[in-house]
Structure 1
């Protein structure tokens, strides 16, 4: 079994189940409690505290109320399935304007849109039925006597639909699906409490457009539905103004706020559980028969994986390299050699994937910003000859790709096509720096391990690789400094992405400078005697003289 499958089945799914349990507890105690208080105080007009407490305890204990949690459980499972299938570890930055529309109309995104909207509609209907039992559920058929059943049901559907659309747009098109481990992971309960703060709820309301988008569209669409019903003979004309009655407006606002709070709490709690750091062993027990050597659960193999598993592996490596007292035993295993044989397998299993990741990132930056430094391949001379080996003056055919490129370049001269076909400012650089988080942790881990080897490496297994590590750091710093300032676009669809990659770019420069300073101050002038290039030696000299700010 591959590492990604093991990670998905044994870690991701279990963490998702625990997150769903926490959100269901929130639904049971908070959402049902708020709806019970509203029904008792506003709908029934009872302000007696004893009656309110009795109704609260009854709503939390009654079997019928517990069975009603089936609806939010189904909705949360739908939301969790969308999040598990669509989460990302780096920001998605479109190269062209039309790529956002192309992504929006893909089958996977449309399926996620429909599942989120359906879950939001069911949740909004669940909250309104809890607050006012006279409000019917969406899937319950209206009776012939209840003329206002249609407008009320339409209002609930509109609230859920527009809130779901706002949440889906944020999730799929504005990088709301990014999962990032916390920089300093405190107790999980503290993170969950922070996600329940009123500031988070206010931010969620502003993010999902509750104050301006959902309520406005709900009122206008419900008035339109009431007018249609009146014209078709389903009710009288004064029924149009029932959408503006105070009770209906208050229930709509309450269900919308509860829906937005649930979405915010669900996304935050799921992010907390999925991004929880994992501890990956450096070695495998001899009696372990979990799989082949390439698929064994070891740090050297997870560092070479991809996605969230690779990100958590580099976070574990960063924690391991920082000599955390909780991982002191694993930290000492890095500088050991195998017995028998005397091979530094633990160090090489850490150093090779980390250094390869740094070099690949440097090559990506060099390929885009300094193509003249790349080795040029000589053009292939294709001689057109006939059967008798005589030269033919017929030119070679133009490839189809070049023809399409010429057509696109000619269309760019027109403003309407140029808006969709022109590349967004610094889109390639921003997409590269958006994936710099594991590179930052790899640089910090290598710098800390090289500095720790000065006193802990008894066999000299790290010293032989210090020149390669320093040269990789210097080359990456040169490429990062050579890239111009990232353009800040005023388009709302790319502002969040630009902030994300700018922060990662600054963090990468800071981590490179800090790691090189740690190594040079630890080893002193000895680094100038290492077999490095002249450019790297001059850079290290400036670090020794503390000229790099």
Structure 2
């Protein structure tokens, strides 16, 4: 098993990046916990006292155990991200369909895991903020104080634990809708430190905002059904609940208690921020550029990786490296293209180029076929809807027209292209964008070098493939009446894939045509492709 080169490569590239991201998340956890303790003990009248109280907070056994609980949940969350990540976004006809997918067994287990992790994290936050425990001695003015060893339920502690479980459950439930498991590739190539610093304020703002929403929704739920878990805990642990001294929280006045709301909001913000930072680090580390070897005899050769049965993430890293190495006249780029002399070295270079170009062209051709099939179906439906006479009112035609009108309204909603099934066509479009960039750059390098190389015989295939795909994308966007979203988060960046691909194809065709210039007419392309190429150039 361990002699399998694919397994070894996977362990080296992906697993080590996972370990690095989780390690950095653990190193940041004490700093985040210290900030949480400082804010939880903040008093407007005593600005110096909270700082002095925070200095010895991690020296006691109780606080250290609380910090260890938080660190353990951070590691568990990082491992759970690794089990559920995807480089292609989850796209469905509607958010309701995505929520229905949560009924699958593995998704139900994921929700339960997040619920437990949220409860444990809230417990650790209560320890660090010096909150009272869930079980406390009954107050002296309580009717149960005379009983020896009588214990009462601290409802504030129960609310805090239930809020953590609720936040964890909703985080997992809505994670598919918000594509939290989607590992996107940033278009800007920068160091990990700058990437973290650039994203951190946005993550903090989002965590604080979502924390407000979660606290409000949880308090509404607790005011309605909070008595059920309260009675269950009291019966299970044999606790008392004296409403005269331990104030019940189902009353609106108690639910709007500022200290309680502040503690819940701060704990929820800390929980979400810890998870989001861990997820952010995983995305940054796992999408960093990896330099693949180009020697064809090497089992980790970029061509073998693209053609092999590696995970999708590894193939994305290979395409990313291919697009980057093709951007300049580096030795790696020349090694893919150039024939130095006749013999073994030239043969290996030819093998590498043929495998790489074949993989890129296959991806572009497959997307062209998918788009043409979808466009033909959309065109037939549109034509049928326009040709149906008004006098015909059979149930079948009425239902068909109604579905067609609903589909048109759905596709034009919010002016965004690719809602539902349309976005599913472009779910793996990032790979196609890299393929277009790589092929176009290789063509430009070949022409500029003016030397014999292995890529010259593929020029006409590249041109024809890109022209066909450009026409299919143009027709698709025209049929959908789509417009590019004005602004979207990085998690929703896939919504711009159709427009990014359209622009890359246009730029690639123009760049290759300008590089070849007078040699264009000598390419063995059909008259139709030559005509469409002239149209694009004009």
Partner of 1:48: 48
Is the 8 Å Cα contact of residues 16 and 270 (structure 1) preserved in structure 2? yes
Q: Is 2:228 aligned against 1:235? A: no
Relative to structure 1, is the Cα distance of residues 220 and 19 closer, same or farther in structure 2, using a 3 angstrom cutoff? Answer: farther
Deviation at 1:146, TM superposition (A): 5.0
Is the 8 Å Cα contact of residues 10 and 314 (structure 2) preserved in structure 1? no
Q: Is 2:166 aligned against 1:162? A: yes
Is the 8 Å Cα contact of residues 87 and 178 (structure 1) preserved in structure 2? yes
2: CA distance, partners of 1:317 / 1:437: 13
Q: Is 2:271 aligned against 1:278? A: no
1: CA distance, partners of 2:440 / 2:354: 15
Q: Secondary structure at the match of 1:370?
A: helix
2: CA distance, partners of 1:65 / 1:259: 17
Relative to structure 1, is the Cα distance of residues 28 and 371 closer, same or farther in structure 2, using a 3 angstrom cutoff? Answer: same
**Normalised TM-score (structure 2):** 0.78
Is the 8 Å Cα contact of residues 91 and 497 (structure 1) preserved in structure 2? no
Q: Deviations over 1:346-395 (max 9, x none)?
A: 3223211111111111111122223799xxxxxxxxxxxxxxxxxxxxxx
Relative to structure 1, is the Cα distance of residues 244 and 461 closer, same or farther in structure 2, using a 3 angstrom cutoff? Answer: closer
Any unmatched runs of 5+ in structure 2? 139-148, 380-394, 412-418
The RMSD of aligned alpha carbons is 3.9
Q: Secondary structure at the match of 2:181?
A: coil
Partner of 1:76: 74
**Normalised TM-score (structure 1):** 0.77
Match of 1:466 among 459, 468, 472: 459
Q: Is 2:326 aligned against 1:321? A: yes
Partner of 1:443: 436
Q: Deviations over 1:116-162 (max 9, x none)?
A: 121111111111210115335xxx8988655342x123211222122
- Give the 5 Å matches for 1:497-516: 500-516=493-509
- Count of aligned pairs: 483
Match of 2:513 among 508, 520, 528: 520
Relative to structure 1, is the Cα distance of residues 270 and 130 closer, same or farther in structure 2, using a 3 angstrom cutoff? Answer: same
Relative to structure 1, is the Cα distance of residues 28 and 145 closer, same or farther in structure 2, using a 3 angstrom cutoff? Answer: farther
1: CA distance, partners of 2:452 / 2:367: 31
Deviation at 1:106, TM superposition (A): 0.4
Is the 8 Å Cα contact of residues 96 and 422 (structure 1) preserved in structure 2? no
1: CA distance, partners of 2:111 / 2:233: 29
Relative to structure 1, is the Cα distance of residues 114 and 79 closer, same or farther in structure 2, using a 3 angstrom cutoff? Answer: same
Deviation at 1:284, TM superposition (A): 5.5
Partner of 1:128: 126
Relative to structure 1, is the Cα distance of residues 25 and 146 closer, same or farther in structure 2, using a 3 angstrom cutoff? Answer: farther
Relative to structure 1, is the Cα distance of residues 515 and 58 closer, same or farther in structure 2, using a 3 angstrom cutoff? Answer: same
2: CA distance, partners of 1:170 / 1:87: 15
Relative to structure 1, is the Cα distance of residues 21 and 214 closer, same or farther in structure 2, using a 3 angstrom cutoff? Answer: farther
Deviation at 1:330, TM superposition (A): 1.3
Partner of 1:492: none
1: CA distance, partners of 2:59 / 2:452: 65
Q: Deviations over 1:515-539 (max 9, x none)?
A: 1111111110311221001111012
Relative to structure 1, is the Cα distance of residues 369 and 266 closer, same or farther in structure 2, using a 3 angstrom cutoff? Answer: same
Partner of 1:345: 351
Deviation at 1:418, TM superposition (A): 12
Partner of 2:363: 357
Q: Secondary structure at the match of 2:185?
A: coil
Q: Deviations over 1:232-278 (max 9, x none)?
A: 96312452156654443332222122112212212211211111121
Relative to structure 1, is the Cα distance of residues 530 and 42 closer, same or farther in structure 2, using a 3 angstrom cutoff? Answer: same
Partner of 1:292: none
2: CA distance, partners of 1:363 / 1:59: 63
